[in-house]
Copies of this chain bind each other. A is one copy, B any other.
Amino acid sequence: MSRDLVQKGVKRLEWAKKHMKVLEKVRNELTKKKSLKGQRIGMALHVEAKTGMLALTLREAGADVRLASCNPLSTDDSVSTALNEHFGLPTFARKGETKKEYYSNLNSVLDHEPDILIDDGCDLISLVHTKRKKLLDVVKGANEETTTGIIRLRAMEQAGALKFPVMSVNDAKMKYLFDNRYGTGQSTLDGVISSTNLLVAGKKVVVAGYGWCGRGIAMRMSGMGGNVTVTEVDPIPAIEAKLDGFAVEPMMDAIRDADFVITATGCKDVVSERHLKVAKDGCVLANSGHFDNEVSKVALKKLSKKKRNVRDFVEEYSLKNGRKVYLLGEGRLINLVAGQGHPVEIMDMSFSIQALCTRYLLVNHKKLENKVYDVPKSIDEKVAKIRLKSWRVKIDNLSQEQKEYLSGWSEGT
């Protein structure tokens, strides 16, 4: 069984490797120079094939790597086992961790006294700042992968609580423009249709949040023939959603006749008690945000008289009002719980940013303050150029004359 699992994991890692051409270039460069030699790196990411390739890349570049999961339900056990048993890279992750196991695993990563942290959602960084404060002397800096983590980190910075520099990998253009939008779009769709086998075409699909993730989901659900309604708290993206041809409604109106509700906000209680009370019978609820509090499970529990599993990753809640609603993947990121995470080529870009930011932190950490830093433009551009080259896509170059024109101002009508 374990052997089968290892073999499956190895295959998945190989498949990922084959399609991560940008990371391959980056790996070759880092490895040649042994750029991360002697560094200990503690990672808390979704443990699946693409992440595995990042971990192996960092190790090839000279680092000593440990990997835990950043979510109790997103681990691909085959990959976790293969990394451990086949590649000898210590992982601390299993699909379906209890909260206790989850934190125990994070602590196992921290026990290694890492120089650099790579986090997704800020639980690992937060742990260092609360229960593992001694490590503040050891950690040189961290990378943060996702919007939710960045929201938390900016709050920490604001409060003067942040004790080492953090690279906002999430805010690199080559990350959020692609990972959050096209990645989340495709993988969320995959998770929803795989777990339900339901038709999207003609259905009312409510997407909560029209940030980069939300618009990726809306775009793909619409591309499948869904009739998309967007909910927002910010008027400007609300107007964008409307002009993109979608309906815009408050959740209280939207959910009344929603076939699917998918949250991607980074906020909690987006679907709360009052919304659930008026949800349409048969409504399917899913979340693509980082934490499992966007759809309130507290409210679901309170409102329902019965809960049962009706398919893999589908819980049926029989509400006291006689209706039934369906929560996918326990309200955790549906694209990882019921799918295989973002498409390989997307993570190829995101994780190339991760690898280059790791090197950047090591080289520059002494100069950096305890702040959240934007990824340097040069890293974004480096990754973009490798990406285009790997696809053999050519673009135009500005001539000298054009450059001068753009930096001049006297030439007019």
Query: Which residues does A use to contact B, with CB under 8 Å?
Result: 11-12, 14-16, 18-19, 49, 70-72, 99, 102-103, 121-123, 126, 130, 151-153, 155-156, 158-159, 161, 173-174, 177-178, 182, 185-186, 189-190, 193-194, 197-202, 219-220, 222-227, 231-236, 238-240, 242-251, 253, 266-269, 282, 291, 309-311, 314, 339-341, 343-346, 380-381, 384-385, 387-388, 391, 393-399, 401-402, 405-413
Which residues from B are CB-within-8-Å of A396? 231-233, 250-251
The 3 closest A-B pairs by CB, nearest first: A223-B223, A199-B343, A235-B384
B199 touches A267 (CB 8 A): no
A178 touches B239 (CB 8 A): yes
Given known contacts A224-B224, A236-B380, A253-B394, what 4 new A-B pairs fall within 8 Å (CB)? A15-B197, A199-B346, A234-B395, A291-B413
Provided the pairs A186-B224, A243-B182 are in contact, do residues A236 and B194 lie with their beta carbons within 8 angstroms? Answer: no
Give Cα A186–Cα B221 distance, bound, in whole angstroms: 11
B267 touches A398 (CB 8 A): yes
Some 23 contacts from A to B, beta carbons below 8 A apart, are A70-B413, A121-B412, A130-B410, A182-B201, A182-B225, A186-B200, A194-B340, A197-B341, A197-B344, A199-B343, A199-B346, A200-B343, A202-B244, A202-B245, A223-B223, A227-B247, A235-B384, A238-B393, A242-B393, A253-B394, A267-B405, A267-B406, A269-B402
| Choice from B202, B233, B341 contacting A395 with Cβ under 8 Å | B233
A245 touches B233 (CB 8 A): no
Q: Closest residue of chain B to A97, judged by CB? A: B413
Which residues from B are CB-within-8-Å of A222? 223, 245
Give Cα A219–Cα B201 distance, bound, in whole angstroms: 12
Give Cα A412–Cα B300 distance, bound, in whole angstroms: 20
B245 touches A225 (CB 8 A): yes
Q: Closest residue of chain B to A401, judged by CB? A: B269
Which residues from B are CB-within-8-Å of A231? 395-396
Give Cα A249–Cα B391 distance, bound, in whole angstroms: 12
A413 touches B99 (CB 8 A): yes
Give Cα A394–Cα B412 distance, bound, in whole angstroms: 44
A224 touches B223 (CB 8 A): yes
Q: Distance (Å) between the CB of A374 and the closest chain B CB?
A: 14
Give Cα A345–Cα B282 distance, bound, in whole angstroms: 13
Q: Distance (Å) between the CB of A318 and the closest chain B CB?
A: 13
Give Cα A22–Cα B85 distance, bound, in whole angstroms: 51
Give Cα A257–Cα B189 distance, bound, in whole angstroms: 27
Give Cα A235–Cα B235 distance, bound, in whole angstroms: 31
Which residues from B are CB-within-8-Å of A385? 235
A402 touches B267 (CB 8 A): yes
Give Cα A401–Cα B291 distance, bound, in whole angstroms: 16
Q: Closest residue of chain B to A220, judged by CB? A: B224
Give Cα A202–Cα B343 distance, bound, in whole angstroms: 12
Which residues from B are CB-within-8-Å of A291? 412-413
Q: Distance (Å) between the CB of A255 and the closest chain B CB?
A: 11
Q: Distance (Å) between the CB of A249 and the closest chain B CB?
A: 7
Q: Closest residue of chain B to A161, judged by CB? A: B409
Interface core residue of A99, A126, A156, A243 (most chain B CB under 10 Å):
A243
| Choice from B236, B266, B410 contacting A384 with Cβ under 8 Å | B236
Give Cα A21–Cα B270 distance, bound, in whole angstroms: 31
Which residues from B are CB-within-8-Å of A225? 182, 219-220, 223, 243-245
B199 touches A194 (CB 8 A): no
Which residues from B are CB-within-8-Å of A269? 399, 401-402
Interface core residue of A173, A182, A244, A397 (most chain B CB under 10 Å):
A182
Give Cα A343–Cα B226 distance, bound, in whole angstroms: 13
Provided the pairs A198-B343, A239-B178 are in contact, do residues A250 and B399 lie with their beta carbons within 8 angstroms? Answer: no
Q: Distance (Å) between the CB of A160 and the closest chain B CB?
A: 12
